[in-house]
Structure 1
Amino acid sequence: MSAQDIVLSPEESAELSRRTRSATISQRDGRRARVILLAAQGCSRVEIARLVGFSLRSVTLWCKRFQEQGLDGLIDKPGRGRKSFLPPDAMARVLEKV
């Protein structure tokens, strides 16, 4: 599987283009959309990484997720990120005081 294996439907292409231009979407999500658009245009993974500012590993990851899940694959899954080190009851007490 390579970045060049990506073929977009007209609807997918339009949605990805919209995401790259949107002022309301996060920059991170816009860059992911740009990765897929560049891959569909035939750019190599190395070239895409250089143009977008992602690592080669990240370009490969986003291309793979798009091929497996489509547009939904470009959205972060819930539960990502650092977990709270406070137990829920302690967090509730802190929030009450704030």
Structure 2
Amino acid sequence: MPFATGRCSYTRRFACYVIDLLKAMTLKDVSNLLDVSWNTIKDIHVRYFERHYSSPPLDGVDCIGIDEFAVKKGYIYKTIVVDMEKGRILYVGFPK
């Protein structure tokens, strides 16, 4: 079933709704509003962060490009690492 999220007891649409609510509310507030356990709301939140903010897989990366650029001229610099073949960003961070 394409609308289900696998082993979970909620649908993808419900998870998207919860994530939208979490942009303006706390976990506890969303849990109380939807009358769903805090653990379920937390599980949705954790899965969202894992899916959107985990490190990308490095399988098949053969050629990288590294560059440093100024965010605020002369004050804040960031380093970016890019997969040159696929054009996807692998890392963005502050040099030490």
Structure having the higher strand fraction is 2
Which structure has the greater CA radius of gyration? 2
Per the normalisation by structure 2, the TM-score is: 0.40
Greater helix proportion: 1
TM-score normalised according to structure 1 size: 0.40
